[in-house]
Chain A
Amino acid sequence: MAEKKLGLKEKYQLMTRGLDWETTYQPMDKVFPYDKYEGIKIKDWDKWEDPFRLTMDAYWKYQAEKERKLYAILDSFSQNNGQLNISDARYLTALKIWMQGITPAEYNSHRGFCMVGRQFRGAGARVACQMQALDELRHAQTQIHAFSHYNKHFGGFHQAMHMRDRAWYLSIPKSFFEDAMTAGPFEFVTSISFAFEYVLTNLLFMPFVSGAAYNGDMATTTFGFSAQSDESRHMTLGLEVVKFVLEQHEDNVPIMQRYIDKWFWRGYRLLALVGVMMDYMLPRKVMSWAEAWGIYWEENGTALFNDLARYGIKPPKYHEIATAEKNHITHQAWAVFYTACPATGFHAWLPQEYELDWLSEKYGSTFDRYYRPRFAEFARIEREGGRFYTNRLPLVCQTCQVPDFFTEVDNPMKQSIRQYEWQGMKYNFCSDGCRDIFAHEPEKFCQAYIPPQQIYQGNAGGARTLPEYAAWLKCEFGKDSGEYYTSEDYARWKAMHGGNDTTPSSAAA
C-alpha cells in the first residue's frame, strides 16, 4: 500500500516548526536581538498559524506557474506591438509614476522582508516573511520587464532608480518605505503587511489594474494581477500578524493601535498618488477614487475593524478625515501635477471635456464648485497661447513629504497646515495625522531629507530652475516632462496612428 500523503496541516508543521530549533551555543535573545525592544510581548511563537499553510515546495510550484503565464503574455504583448492598443498615450503617465514610484518601493519592501525574515524568532513568521521577500523582488523585476517595452517607445521610463533618490514627488513612497524599514520588525510588518497591504492596496491593484485592462494595457493588467495573487497572501500575513500579536498579551494592544493609526495615515497620504492615477490618468474610466474609497475603505475597512473590535482595537485615528477628503484630494493633486510637471519625469494635461463632465458627475458636491473653474482658467491661458507652470517649489509635509496642497476639511478654500516646534526648530505638516506622527518620534522625523529645502540649498546639482532640476533628474523637458500635448510622446503616438489624434471622446470603452 502506498504511504499516505501528508495533510496540509501536518506538512505545514513539519516544513516550518519542524525545521526550527532552540539554539544552545548562544542564547536565543542574542540570536534574535530585535524582536523584543518594541515592547511587544510574545508568550508562545507556536501559536503563529499561517492560514494558507503554504510551504516552500508549494510556493515554488505556484510561483513558477504564475511566472510562466506572465512571461508568455509579456512576450506576446511585445511581439504584437501591444503599445499600439492602449486607449491613449496620456495613460502612460500612470505607468511612469508606477515605474518611478512603486517599483522601487517593491524592491525596498523586498529588502525589508529579508530583514524581518531574519529577526523574528518564530519559524512560521520567518517562513512567511521569506516568501514575501521573494514575492516583492519578483514584483520589482516583472514590473521592470513589463515597462521595458514601453521604454522603447516613450519617454520617462529610463531612469527610475536614479530618479527615486532625487525626485521631489518620489520622496513620498521612498520615505514611507524607509520609515518602515528603519522601524522594529513588528512595526515593519504592521506597516507594510497590515496597514498598507491589507487595508489599502486593494485600492491600487483592484480598481486601477482593472482600469489598465479597460484601457487596453495587457502588460500591466498581467503583471498587476500576477502581483496581486501574491498580495492576497501578504494581506493574510498582515491580518495574521495583528491577530497573533493582540492575542499574545494585552500590553500589546496600545502599541499595535499606535502602529495602525500611524501607518493607516501614512498609507492614505501615499495613496493620493493612486487616486490621481484613477481619476485623471485613465482615459477610459472604471470607477472614481471616491467610489473606490467607499468600497475598499468605508465598506471593507469597517468590516475589518468590526472584526478586530473584539481585541479592543479601534478604527485608525483620523479615518473620518480621510473619508471627508475623498471628494477633494485627487483634483487638488492633479492641479499640482499639471502645474509642476516640468520638474518631473511625466507629462500632464488638462482633462478633456468628456472627462470634466465625468468628474462633475462623480464629484457632484465639489468638482463644479471648487475645481472645474480652476481647470477652466488654465484652459483660458492655454487658448491664449500660454501654459501655466509653477515657478516655485512647494511647502512639503515633514512626515509624508507630500506637497501641502490639502485643504481644511470644513473649508476647502483654506490650506491645511500644522506646525510643531521641537528643539528650537519649526516643522510644517499637512495634517493633524502627520503632526501627531512626528510628535511621537521627533528624533526620527527631524532627519527627513525634504527635497525643496535641499534644492534651495543647492544640493540638487545646483539647479536654479525647474527645467535645470529636471535635467538633474536626467529628464528632458518636452521629452520626459512638461505638457503632454506638446510632447514627443504625443507626436509619436499620433505618428503611430497615421497622424491622427486618437484622444477618446468618452469615458466608456
Chain B
Amino acid sequence: MSRDKVFIAFQTNEDSRPIVEAILEDNPEATVDEQPAMVKILAPGRLVVKRSTIEDKIGRDFVLQSIHINLISLAGNITEDEDEFVLAWHQA
C-alpha cells in the first residue's frame, strides 16, 4: 500500500467535531490541519471513517452517508458501505 497521503476535510462545526474525533481515534497515524472554517485530516495511505465510533461519540444512530452535508473535500479512492467509509491509494 502506498504511503502517499489521503485526506478528508470538513466544515468546522458541531456536526463535524465528533466525526473528526472518531477518525482520529480509528486512525492512529492521522494528523489534523486546522484552517479557518475548515478541518482537514491527513493519513498515510489509508483512512477509515467508522459509523460505530461516531455513534459512540454522539450517543445515537448515525447514517454514514450524512457526512456529505459537511464534507469539503477528499483525496483517495473511496470504498463505502453502511459501516465504513475508506479512502486509500493503491500503489506506491
Contact = CB atoms under 8 A, between A and B. Distances in A.
B36 A211 contact: yes
A310 B89 CA distance: 11
A205 B72 contact: yes
B82 interface: yes
A303 B45 CA distance: 9
Nearest to B83: A8
Given A51-B78, A206-B72, A231-B73, A307 B37 contact: no
B2 interface: yes
Contacts of A205: 72-73
Interface string A1-18: 000000111000000000
A299 interface: yes
Contact of B69 (A62, A214, A302): A62
B26 interface: no
B78 A52 contact: yes
A210 interface: yes
Interface in B52-92: 65-66, 68-82, 89-92
A317 interface: no
A306 B4 contact: yes
A225 interface: yes
Q: Which one of B11, B68, B80 has the highest number of Cβ atoms from chain A below 10 Å of its Cβ?
A: B68
A235 B36 contact: no
Contacts of A213: 36-38
A307 B79 contact: no
A229 interface: yes
B72 to A, nearest CB: 5
B9 interface: yes
A55 B56 CA distance: 27
A229 B68 contact: yes
B74 A235 contact: yes
Interface in A189-237: 202, 205-207, 209-211, 213-214, 221, 225, 228-229, 231-233, 235-236
Contact of A210 (B38, B68, B71, B75): B38
A494 interface: no
B75 A206 contact: no
Contacts of B11: 225, 229
Contacts of A306: 2, 4, 89, 91-92
Contact of A62 (B6, B66, B90): B66
A236 B78 contact: yes
B6 A239 contact: no
A304 B75 contact: yes
A62 B92 CA distance: 35
Contacts of A58: 65
Nearest to B35: A210
A229 B8 CA distance: 11
Nearest to B66: A62
Given A8-B80, A286-B35, A307-B89, A52 B65 contact: yes
B17 interface: no
Nearest to B90: A307
Given A303-B2, A303-B75, A306-B91, A210 B36 contact: yes
A232 B37 contact: no
A300 interface: yes
A74 to B, nearest CB: 15
Contacts of B71: 228-229, 232
Nearest to B79: A51
B5 interface: yes
A9 B65 contact: no
B80 A51 contact: yes
Contacts of B70: 229
Given A235-B74, A307-B91, A221 B65 contact: no
Contacts of B91: 306-307, 309-310
A371 B70 CA distance: 40
B6 A303 contact: yes
A310 B90 contact: yes
Q: Which one of B5, B65, B73, B76 has the highest number of Cβ atoms from chain A below 10 Å of its Cβ?
A: B73
A175 B78 CA distance: 32
Interface in B1-55: 2, 4-7, 9, 11, 35-38, 40
A319 interface: no
Nearest to B15: A69
A421 interface: no
Q: Which one of B5, B37, B76 has the highest number of Cβ atoms from chain A below 10 Å of its Cβ?
A: B37
Nearest to B75: A300
A410 interface: no
A98 to B, nearest CB: 17
A158 to B, nearest CB: 28
B35 A239 contact: no
Given A52-B68, A62-B68, A229-B69, 7 more contacts: A8-B65, A52-B78, A205-B72, A211-B36, A236-B74, A300-B5, A303-B4
3 tightest CB-CB pairs across the interface, nearest first?
A: A303-B4, A213-B37, A51-B78
11 contacts: A7-B81, A52-B65, A206-B73, A209-B38, A221-B37, A225-B37, A286-B35, A300-B7, A300-B75, A303-B6, A307-B90
Interface of A: 7-9, 51-54, 58, 62, 65-66, 69, 202, 205-207, 209-211, 213-214, 221, 225, 228-229, 231-233, 235-236, 239, 243, 286, 299-300, 302-304, 306-307, 309-310
Interface of B: 2, 4-7, 9, 11, 35-38, 40, 65-66, 68-82, 89-92
